[in-house]
Amino acid sequence: MSLGNVADSATLGNGSARSVTLFDGDQLVRSVAIGSGEIRSHVTLEESASMNGGSVRADPMGAWWLALMQGTMPSAGLFRRPDEKLVLRVADLFSGIGGFLVGTGQLAVEAGAEQRCELAVDIDADALEVHRRNHGTRRTVAASVTSLVDYRIRGSGTDAEFVYPPEILDDGLSSGCEDIDLLTAGPPCQGHSNLNNRSRRTDRRNLLYLDVPAFAVACRARSVAIENVTSVVHDGADVVATATALLIANGYEVTEGVLAADEMGWPQTRRRHFLIARRFDAPGRSGPIPLAEVRDMLAQERARSVEWAICGGQSLSDDPAMHDFPEFTEVTRERIAWLFDNDEHDLALAERPECHQEGTSYGAVYGRMHGDRPAPTITTGFMTPGRGRFVHPTERRTLTAAEAARLQGFPDSYFFRPSPDTTPTRAQLAKWIGDAVAAPLGYAAALSALVPALAARAS
Q: What is the pLDDT of residue 354?
A: 75
The H or E element that residue 28 is part of is strand 27-34
Q: What is the pLDDT of residue 328?
A: 95
What residues contact residue 258 under an 8 Å CB cut-off, 6+ apart? 230, 271, 272, 273, 274, 291
Q: What is the pLDDT of residue 34?
A: 73
CA distance 224 to 450: 9
Closest CA to 332 of 376, 368, 374: 368
Q: What is the pLDDT of residue 8?
A: 29
Q: What is the pLDDT of residue 111?
A: 86
Q: How many helices (H) and strands (E) does the chain have?
A: 12, 15
Q: What is the pLDDT of residue 101?
A: 98
Closest CA to 29 of 66, 75, 71: 75
Q: What is the pLDDT of residue 280?
A: 87
Q: What is the pLDDT of residue 92?
A: 98
pLDDT along the chain (459 residues), means of 10: 41 59 87 77 67 71 91 70 76 98 94 93 98 98 97 96 97 88 89 44 77 97 96 93 98 97 98 96 70 94 96 90 94 97 94 72 86 97 95 97 98 97 97 98 95 62
What residues contact residue 291 under an 8 Å CB cut-off, 6+ apart? 255, 256, 257, 258, 259, 274, 276, 444, 448
Burial 116-133 (b: 16+ CB within 10 A, else e): bbbbbbbebebbbbbbbb
- Gap between the terminal Cα atoms of the chain: 16
What residues contact residue 375 under an 8 Å CB cut-off, 6+ apart? 267, 268, 269, 306, 309, 369, 407
Q: What is the pLDDT of residue 14?
A: 44
CA distance 263 to 271: 9
Torsion angle of alpha carbons 237, 227, 295, 20, nearest 10°? 170
Task: Tell how far CA 122 is from the center of its chain.
Answer: 16
CA distance 218 to 213: 8
CA distance 361 to 329: 24
**Residue 174: DSSP 8-state:** H
